[in-house]
Amino acid sequence: MKLKLLLLPVIFAGISLYSCEKPQDPAENQGTGTEEPVPEPEPEPEPEPEPEPVPEKPVVLWIDAEANFSRLRTQANIRKYLDLAQESGFNAIVVDVKPVQGDVLYDSDLFPHCTSLGGYTIDDRGYDYLQYFIDQARERNMRISVSTTIMPMGLPMSKSGPGYTDPYWDDKFCIEYLPTGLQDIRETDDVWNVFAFLNPVLPEVHDYVMSLVEEVATKYDFDGYVLDYCRYMNINSDFSDASRKAFEAYADVTVENWPEDIYTFNSDDKNDYTPGVHYNKWIEWRSSVIQGYVADIRETLKRVRPDVDLEYWAASWWPLPHTGQNWASPSINSTTAYWWATPDYYKTGFADQLDIFQLGAYLNKVYGPYDAESVEYAINRSKRIIGDDCTIYGTISSSRGFDMAEAVYLCYRETAGVMVFELSHIINNDDWANVKAGVDKAKAELGIVSSEDNAE
């Protein structure tokens, strides 16, 4: 009996300990009971992220001053054609305000206003041509670039422009070297192909160019400044005494026979010549002159308007050095296969000074990766020799007899933008629908939704 009484506290203590234990979770007691384990709920899947919208590319309409001088005499016509351009897929324009004749189509305090051009005369439009384009472009949310020719200052065909009317320019033009000898470029007989170009070597010409760029950039609010004809006219210029001295200093040589040590003619054809002892170095020097201009223009433009893009249009036939415009990268040696190039020629490239290069692929074929006369080949080559130095737009001419829609599509797909030259050609060739078709095809392929569609 005593033993039983002694055992009772032990039994009660065990019961108390058991009752105080935490009940086991069924999941921790698998195999000891009859209930199935309760599975943890699956987490909800993360929602798919919204794809980043693909931005639209610039589709640029070039508006040439001479070809449209009379057509755009009224504000109503400017509005009409900008509306038509926008409906046809264009979202940007280039407005030419200094044609090759040399006078200007903006409110200038420095240069004469253009009142006669292309056989038409408009004494007073009654409004600021450039400012009205800017205002109308802004209303339509269109990008606007301003274009000026750089070296031309007169038209030999009509003997018009400041180069023929203002004596200040008389000693500042290029001197051509022709089979008949040396002559002022203003006196050329080749009036269809030669414009009156200023001599870029002269400091007065340099000052004029910088003042032009600075005035336009100071007076107007726009998005890009396009350099046109920022080069030499052709291989026949400039052969002035100033250029001879500048070349001799650059090359550290004395030209014993001038200009025969540059080249000699084989016939009466000004393009039929044999290169002389200094020809290759001469080619390099001329390119260095233009390279210097592009760099100085960039400095001038960015000082006034750092947000404005410096743009440059040039024909895609790059391996022809006659005009002194080496638009390739100065860090890519692309000239080892060319007989006319010195080992240092590639260093005269100026692509690194540009924000946008407008590649003038005004060719007769759209496709042909190995055909030097195709737009496709021109685009591929420009990418190779420019690299990442600047943005490339493919540009084409409406006057070419090829599939315009396909050309627009190719340029839009393969470059950062497309420019079509130019308004009057598009009107004459009725290419509005073709431009729209090319843009729409490229956008659909790239998954681009236009801003108009987003608005809806």
- Helix pair 279-304, 241-251: axis angle to 10 deg: 100
**Burial (0-12, 13-18, 19+ Cβ within 10 Å), 272:** exposed
Q: Compute how many other C-beta atoms are within 10 angstroms of the C-beta atom of residue 42.
A: 6
Q: What is the pLDDT of residues 284-297, one digit of tens each?
A: 999 999 999 999 99
Q: What is the pLDDT of residues 49-98, one digit of tens each?
A: 776 778 999 999 999 999 999 999 999 999 999 999 999 999 999 999 99
Element (H, E) at 391: strand 391-397
Q: Which two tokens stand for residue 8?
A: 């009772």
Contact residues for 420 (Cβ-Cβ < 8 A; gap 6+): 59, 60, 61, 62, 90, 395, 396, 397, 398, 408, 426, 431, 435
What pLDDT, on a 0 to 100 scale, did the predictor assign at position 41? 72
Of 11-15, 261-265, 436-440, the one with minimum mean pLDDT is 11-15
Distance, in Å, from the CA atom of 217 to the CA atom of 299, rounded to the nearest integer, reads 12
Residues in the chain, how many? 456
Q: Which two tokens stand for residue 100?
A: 């090759």
- CA 139 to chain centroid, in Å, comes to 23
Residue 12 pLDDT greater than 70, yes or no: no
Q: Which two tokens stand for residue 174?
A: 């290029």
The vertex-328 CA angle with 327 and 333, nearest 5°, equals 145
CB-based contact 154:164 (threshold 8 Å): yes
Residue 241 pLDDT greater than 50, yes or no: yes
What is the secondary structure of 16-51 as a DSSP string?
Answer: HHHHHSPPPPGGGGTTSSSSPPPPPPPPPPPPPPPP
What distances in angstroms separate CA 258 from CA 142, 263, 276, one per listed residue? Answer: 52, 9, 10
φ, ψ at 374 (rounded to 5°): -115, 155
Domain spans of the chain, in order of start: 63-155+197-231+280-354
Binned at pLDDT 50, 70 and 90, residue 35 comes out as low
More confident residue, 337 or 85: 85
Nearest to 197 by CA among 222, 228, 164, 233: 233
For the chain, percent helix, then strand, then coil, each to nearest 5? 40, 15, 45
Distance, in Å, from the CA atom of 101 to the CA atom of 229, rounded to the nearest integer, reads 12
Q: Which two tokens stand for residue 352?
A: 């690194």
Alpha helix stretches (DSSP H) within 194-239: 203-219
Q: What is the CA radius of gyration of the chain?
A: 34
Q: What is the pLDDT of residues 140-175, one digit of tens each?
A: 999 999 999 999 999 999 999 999 999 999 999 999
Of 23-27, 98-102, 175-179, 335-339, the one with minimum mean pLDDT is 23-27
Please list the residues that pair with 230 across neighbouring strands. Answer: none
For 290-376, list the strands marked E by DSSP. Answer: 309-315, 356-360
Element (H, E) at 62: strand 59-63
Please list the residues that pair with 326 across neighbouring strands. Answer: none
Q: At 48, which amino acid appears?
A: E
Q: Which fold has domain 63-155+197-231+280-354?
A: TIM Barrel (3.20.20)
